[in-house]
Structure 1
């Protein structure tokens, strides 16, 4: 909650701490009146705090049944990255650098933790990248491939982070595919890179999976440099 006044952060944390599990196993907050009495503040202050929590998806308010805690919508994290990008704190290039480091680790983890069903889905998506003809369809298959890869870690923190930068990843993949568009040999190599990643993960070989992912990014860097030279 960086950027929120300290007193407001404290109030929000105190409000969330009052949640108790109800008979249905759901965390429920007390009423506005009870919260105001507990916190020693006016109900309008509690109402504003609850509105903020609801806006970002931390609570769900149902008239007649109460206010409940819930996992926040990903739009909360998406908004953070979108604003950080607009303000110039991050860029597609910095996200691409972070993603490269991140996905090398993902490939290793996937080789250890992925289920047979997940590997089959990854293989289906790598085949789909070749089979579909539409540009956006290829981008979508590529995006889903990397999303499934992140899910193979079975780590909710990794999934939350990856989905938080989803729009940026889609833009990066679109940029890559756009550069390679019409360069059949380059696109074939990129598609082959994806198959090499799947093969290594299916073999349960973390080192080979990381190497395949490194080759995937190295090929992209070469193509990107070449295109930059051609455009000069």
Structure 2
């Protein structure tokens, strides 16, 4: 019970620091008040405070510098304040929920893109897919894979969905070890990725929305298995 209380109280820290940043009380690079001052100010104990600060580090808002204290990071991106990312942290979301959200978003956008994809769009997708094949390292392949998925969302012309996709991508980067992500782009699995990408692109080229959604769902299902 005590651990759950600390988790709930840590949300107070997250909300308060966000409020201080948005109000201008804290700027990029500023040092947070000392722990004693923050516990008194928020009316919480040190375990809850430290849990909250740890969550803020995961969100990319706070950086802990050994022997110096906690600082608001430089170049805070606007996406860090998007409701999706913050809500996920505050409500203790799970990795499976990230993939459910991604599946809902990308199967729909694949179907939508299939309705309106132009020959130029298809050429762009195939160029990205070829760049991925030609890339030498798992990191480079992962980067082109990301570009391909974002390009499909871009084709829909729905910038709100593109914004949500950025948040989902951000959550994946934050909550999955980089080694886990890159392991998917090694060995036998990489050939399957190439084939699955071609299935998606071919469905878009045929303007077959149903096939595009099915191909994307299959692809994301395999990614989920590899990650989880």
TM-score between both structures, scaled by the size of structure 2: 0.58
Counterparts of 1:130-169 in structure 2, within 5 Å, are: 130-169=133-172
Gaps of 5+ in 2: 1-13, 16-20, 29-74
The alignment yields a C-alpha RMSD, in angstroms, of 3.5
What's the CA shift for 1:82?
4.5
Aligned to 2:126: 123
Q: 1:169 to 1:153 in 2, by over 3 A?
A: farther
- Residue pair 1:74, 1:163 contacting (<8 A) in 2 also: no
Q: How do 1:79-228 and structure 2 match up within 5 A?
A: 79-80=81-82, 81-87=84-90, 89-170=92-173, 175-179=180-184, 181=186, 183-184=187-188, 186-221=189-224, 223=226
Distance in 2 (alpha carbons) for counterparts of 1:173 and 1:215: 23
Q: 8 Å contact 1:143–1:173 — kept in the other structure?
A: no
- Larger relative contact order, structure 1 or 2 (CA cutoff 8 Å, min sep 6): 2
Query: Matches of 1:180 and 1:119 in 2, distance apart?
Result: 23
- The 3 A distance-change label for structure 1 pair 162 and 123 is same
Q: How many residues align?
A: 162
Structure 1 gap ranges (5+): 5-47, 56-72, 226-232
Question: d(CA) in 2 for partners of 1:49 and 1:140?
Answer: 32
Q: Which has the higher Rg, Structure 1 or Structure 2?
A: 1
- TM-score, normalised relative to structure 1: 0.57
